[in-house]
């Protein structure tokens, strides 16, 4: 009996080791994201690259009337494939951005591009983009430089594109490439809404002050913005809007002076149409605070993500992995709301609200 017991114990031990090794190798590459997380300034959601030379405000102000650029690659039929248009148009690709019906709602996607800064370093860029556009039919390319401070141009051009070529969509989700989006939750949330009502939902930032320290990456001189507070705006990780709001914003953003921080710029457009954006707990555009002892386990619990709509700062591989974990037919989280405690060692953030359907 004792020998049997020992054999069982060894067998169990081996299995446990194998299991942990597998788990670890699956999650190992996610630890990279630590370097980026935490401590972000709540003022701005997207960081410009650190190597960015000092921003030339004078030049920006001089050229700010130059705000109309040609559309080099269009997808004019994107929203005409289904009678009545898509239910939801989303603006990122791969995994969660797949097209087709989600819970019976038609979802289409587009991907927004400008021209890369150094084309000589990317000799095949042009043909690659055209190939990709032909393969996926989801690329919109405009003739301006694809830089951090030109994201505002992207916003303006996308909205006017949507008004012209996708007026039939009921809702739009716009998000960064590094967000994980639970499309099912978004569709559920939208199902009972009327696209002809105003709707603008996201991780809303209130009462943010412009940063006046010259050294800061987000420095905005008073010549550019004289007020002491920004209007409420959505963290750029992702937000939802209705078709009606898209049309109004498209008009308004065409009239608001260019501002180099695109999130804030959109807040200014919202203010112009007198629309108060709605804060929603399901939009975590700063990512989820990771417990220091187990950074990977907790955030990679797919049940945790099941309750959210958007989570910022995931790498492509992580988005892919999460999408697959969530779509595993054997995943079941429904009844065990608190069973996941074993993995949630110390969560600094608020518990996510469980039901977004209401
Ligand atoms: C563009 O990239 C090429 C090749 O990497 C490099 O030699 C060149 O200095 C770059 N030009 C600019 C303006 O950055
Ligand atoms: C934005 O794009 C325009 C057109 O390509 C370019 O002239 C300008 O320098 C860019 N602005 C910034 C801030 O990168």
Q: What pLDDT band is residue 55 in, cutting at 50, 70 and 90?
A: confident
Cβ neighbors of 221 (< 8 A, separation 6 or more) are 57, 212
DSSP 326-344: HT-TT---SS-SSGGGGT-
Phi, psi of 61 (to 5 degrees): -65, -40
DSSP 166-181: -TT-SEEEEE-TT-EE
Q: What's the gap in Å between 195 CA and the centre of ligand 2?
A: 34
For residue 203, pLDDT over 90 is answered with: no
Structure tokens at 6: 């020992």
* Best probe residue, ligand 2, of 65, 115, 116, 147 (max atoms within 8 Å of C-beta): 147
Query: Which SS3 state, helix, strand or coil, does residue 195 take?
Result: coil
| pLDDT at site 257 | 94
Q: What pLDDT band is residue 322 in, cutting at 50, 70 and 90?
A: low
Name the percent of the chain lying above pLDDT 90.
36
Residue nearest to atom 13 of ligand 1 (CA): 118
Q: Is residue 343 a part of any domain in this protein? A: no
Which CATH number covers residue 314?
A: 3.90.550
Mean pLDDT of 89-105: 70
Mean pLDDT lowest for which of 13-22, 140-149, 216-225, 333-342? 333-342
Question: Pocket residues for ligand 2 (CB within 6 Å)?
Answer: 60, 144-145, 147, 149-150
How far, in Å, CA of 121 to CA of 247, rounded?
38
Tokens 């070529």 found at: 165
Residue 274: CB atoms within 10 A of its CB come to 9
Question: What number does the ligand 2 atom closest to the CA of 55 have?
Answer: 13
Q: Is residue 100 a part of any domain in this protein? A: yes
Q: Is residue 259 a part of any domain in this protein? A: yes
pLDDT, tens digit, for every residue of 328-343? 777 676 544 443 333 3
CA dihedral 45, 46, 49, 55 (to 10 degrees): -80
* Best probe residue, ligand 1, of 52, 115, 119, 121 (max atoms within 8 Å of C-beta): 121
Mean pLDDT of 106-112: 88
| pLDDT at site 281 | 80
From the CA of 120, the nearest ligand is 1
| pLDDT at site 300 | 57
Question: Pocket residues for ligand 1 (CB within 6 Å)?
Answer: 118, 120-121
For residue 226, pLDDT over 60 is answered with: yes
Return the half-sphere exposure (C-beta side, CA atoms, 13 A cut-off) of residue 139: 17
* Best probe residue, ligand 2, of 145, 152, 262 (max atoms within 8 Å of C-beta): 145
DSSP annotation of 26 reads H
Q: Is residue 139 a part of any domain in this protein? A: yes
Q: Is residue 349 a part of any domain in this protein? A: no
| pLDDT at site 285 | 54
| pLDDT at site 44 | 42
* Best probe residue, ligand 1, of 51, 53, 120 (max atoms within 8 Å of C-beta): 120
| pLDDT at site 338 | 42
From the CA of 57, the nearest ligand is 2
Q: What's the gap in Å between 77 CA and the centre of ligand 2?
A: 29
DSSP annotation of 165 reads H
125 and 119 Cβ atoms separated by less than 8 Å? yes
Helix (H) or strand (E) holding 14: helix 2-28
Q: Is residue 313 a part of any domain in this protein? A: yes
| pLDDT at site 214 | 87
Q: Is the model more confident about 207 or about 282? A: 207
Cβ neighbors of 48 (< 8 A, separation 6 or more) are 148, 149, 217
Q: Is residue 342 a part of any domain in this protein? A: no
Mean pLDDT lowest for which of 87-91, 218-222, 289-293? 289-293
Helix (H) or strand (E) holding 202: strand 200-205
Name the percent of the chain lying above pLDDT 70.
65
* Best probe residue, ligand 1, of 53, 118, 123, 125 (max atoms within 8 Å of C-beta): 118
Residue nearest to atom 6 of ligand 1 (CA): 121
| pLDDT at site 265 | 96
Q: What pLDDT band is residue 132 in, cutting at 50, 70 and 90?
A: confident
Question: What number does the ligand 2 atom closest to the CA of 260 have?
Answer: 13
Q: What pLDDT band is residue 201 in, cutting at 50, 70 and 90?
A: very high
Q: What pLDDT band is residue 77 in, cutting at 50, 70 and 90?
A: very high
CA dihedral 91, 92, 94, 99 (to 10 degrees): -10
| pLDDT at site 303 | 66
Q: Is residue 14 a part of any domain in this protein? A: yes
The residue range of the domain holding 43 is 10-327
pLDDT, tens digit, for every residue of 111-124? 898 998 887 778 88
Question: What number does the ligand 2 atom closest to the CA of 148 have?
Answer: 14
For residue 80, pLDDT over 50 is answered with: yes
Question: What number does the ligand 2 atom closest to the CA of 149 have?
Answer: 13
For residue 157, pLDDT over 90 is answered with: yes
pLDDT, tens digit, for every residue of 228-255? 999 999 986 789 999 999 999 999 999 9
Residue nearest to atom 8 of ligand 2 (CA): 145
For residue 227, pLDDT over 70 is answered with: yes
Residue nearest to atom 7 of ligand 1 (CA): 121
Mean pLDDT lowest for which of 111-120, 173-182, 298-307, 349-358? 349-358
| pLDDT at site 54 | 75
Query: Mean pLDDT, the chain, as a whole number?
Result: 76
Per the confidence metrics, is the pTM higher than 0.85?
no
Q: How many domains does the structure of the chain reveal?
A: 1
From the CA of 68, the nearest ligand is 2
Q: Is the model more confident about 28 or about 296? A: 296
| pLDDT at site 348 | 39
| pLDDT at site 355 | 37
Mean pLDDT of 311-323: 63
């Amino acid at each position: 009996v004792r020998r049997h017991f020992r054999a069982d114990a060894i067998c169990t031990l081996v299995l446990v080791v194998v299991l942990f090794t597998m788990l670890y190798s699956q999650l190992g590459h996610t630890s990279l994201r630590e370097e980026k997380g935490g401590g972000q300034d709540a003022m701005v959601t997207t960081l410009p690259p650190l190597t960015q030379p000092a921003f030339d405000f004078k030049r920006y102000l001089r050229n700010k009337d130059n705000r109309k650029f040609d559309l080099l690659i269009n997808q004019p039929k994107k929203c005409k494939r289904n009678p009545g248009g898509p239910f939801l148009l989303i603006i990122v690709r791969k995994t969660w951005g797949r097209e087709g019906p989600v819970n019976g709602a038609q979802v289409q996607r587009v991907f927004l591009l400008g021209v890369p800064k150094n084309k000589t370093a990317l000799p095949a860029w042009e043909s690659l983009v055209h190939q990709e556009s032909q393969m996926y039919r989801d690329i919109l390319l405009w003739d301006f430089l694809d830089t951090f401070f030109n994201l505002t141009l992207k916003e303006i051009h996308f909205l006017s594109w949507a008004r012209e070529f996708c007026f039939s969509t009921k809702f739009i989700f716009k998000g960064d490439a590094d967000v994980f989006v639970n499309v099912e939750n978004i569709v559920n949330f939208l199902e009972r809404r009327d696209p002809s009502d105003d709707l603008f939902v996201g991780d809303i930032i209130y009462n943010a002050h412009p940063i006046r320290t010259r050294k800061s990456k987000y420095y905005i001189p008073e010549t550019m913005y004289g007020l002491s507070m920004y209007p409420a705006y959505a963290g750029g990780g992702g937000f939802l809007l209705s078709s009606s709001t898209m049309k109004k914003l498209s008009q308004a953003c065409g009239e608001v002076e260019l501002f180099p921080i695109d999130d804030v710029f959109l807040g200014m457009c919202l203010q112009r149409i007198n629309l108060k954006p709605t804060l929603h707990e399901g939009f975590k555009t700063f990512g989820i605070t990771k417990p220091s002892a187990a950074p990977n386990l907790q955030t990679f619990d797919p049940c945790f993500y099941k309750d959210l709509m958007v989570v910022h700062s995931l790498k492509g591989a992580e988005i892919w992995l999460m999408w697959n974990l969530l779509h595993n037919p054997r995943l079941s989280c429904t009844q065990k709301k608190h069973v996941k405690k074993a993995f949630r060692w110390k969560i600094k953030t608020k518990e996510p609200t469980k039901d977004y359907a209401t």
